[in-house]
Copies of this chain bind each other. A is one copy, B any other.
Amino acid sequence: MTADAGDPGFEDLGYARPDTDREARLGLPEVVYGPGKSAAQMAGVVTSLLAANSGPVLATRVEPDVAARVRAAVPGGGYDEPARLLSWRRAEPLGFGLLVVSAGTSDAPVAAEAAAVAEVIGLSVTRLTDVGVAGLHRLLAARAELAAADAVVCIAGMEGALPSVVGGLVGCPVIAVPTSVGYGATFEGVTALLAMLSSCAAGITVVNIDSGFSAAMAAHRIAVRSRR
């Protein structure tokens, strides 16, 4: 912790302890996880984080009605509905190109979250949609985008095969995101998750099911490091 004696590094709101020191340690303020919090609680935490940090403040997985109430309470915020993302302030561009690739149209909400978070925290995002492995030429036609990327976020449901193919085409970091798209033996994303962890393409990493957010944050860690 970098907090000095006079600053505990957090604010005690009773119902929450916003980690006001996180920006100093990690380069980005704490991000608020929306589910299970009331609009009032969310507003309180956001206010605390805005005051104590200078970077962007985000709240994820926020439904539209809650978002409206929080924005009313804390001015200056934007809401990206497909991404369910609330945000205040935007980071300086890091000059890092993130390619967000998704296997099917149905994976769109997860791709939207990854892209929206990434843009707020300073990454430059390009999207490539519906390039599932049952029609490989759609992906192979995008070799220029793949070659230009500083990192790839690779999103797929069902059998989750896309990251294995992408990982065999590019040498940059590939962050795989399984989605809960599908039915039956897809087990709400578990099959895609296990497939990505078992990938024969070396050096692929994986985040939680449907977590476009985690993928963007992982890319941010890489981007910050690359600038060092």
CA distance in complex: A21, B25 (Å): 27
Tell whether A150 pairs with B228 under 8 Å between CB atoms, given A15-B105, A17-B131, A136-B1.
yes
Q: Which of A3-28 contact B (CB under 8 A)?
A: 3, 8-10, 14-19, 21-22, 25-28
CA A157 – CA B27 in complex, angstroms?
A: 25
Known: A8-B137, A198-B159. A222 touches B224 (CB 8 A): no
B175 to A185, Cβ gap below 8 A?
no
Contact indicator B224/A172 (Cβ below 8 Å): yes
Q: Is the CB of A134 within 8 A of B184?
A: no
* Residues B169 and A25 in contact, CB atoms below 8 Å apart: yes
> Chain B contacts of A16 at CB under 8 A?
105, 129-130
Q: Is A168 an interface residue (CB 8 A)?
A: yes
Q: How many copies does the complex hold?
A: 8
Instruction: Tell me how far the C-beta of A116 lies from the nearest C-beta in chain B, rounded to whole angstroms.
Output: 15
Residues A104 and B200 in contact in the complex (CB < 8 Å), given A208-B184, A221-B174? yes
Tell me if A203 is interfacial: C-beta within 8 Å of chain B.
yes
Q: Which residue of B lies closest to A189 (CB)?
A: B184
> Roughly how many angstroms separate A27 CA and B174 CA in the complex, as a whole number?
14
| Interface: A135 (CB within 8 A) | yes
CA distance A220 to B10 in the complex (A): 33
Q: Which of A116-157 contact B (CB under 8 A)?
A: 129-138, 141, 150-151
Interface hits, A65-111 → B, CB 8 Å: 103-109
User: Assuming A108-B36, A138-B19, A222-B173, is B217 touching A202 (CB within 8 A)?
Assistant: yes
Q: Which residues from chain B contact A221 at a C-beta distance below 8 Å? A: 171-174, 203
CB of A115 closer than 8 Å to a CB of B: no
Which residue of the partner chain B has the closest CB to A168? B134
Is A47 close to B, CB under 8 A? no
Cβ B106 vs Cβ A200 within 8 A: no
Q: Can you list 5 pairs linking A and B with CB atoms under 8 Å apart?
A: A35-B106, A134-B167, A134-B199, A171-B225, A178-B184
Additional 10 contacts, C-beta under 8 A, given A15-B129, A182-B198, A222-B225: A1-B137, A19-B135, A133-B164, A159-B196, A159-B198, A161-B164, A184-B198, A185-B193, A191-B197, A222-B222
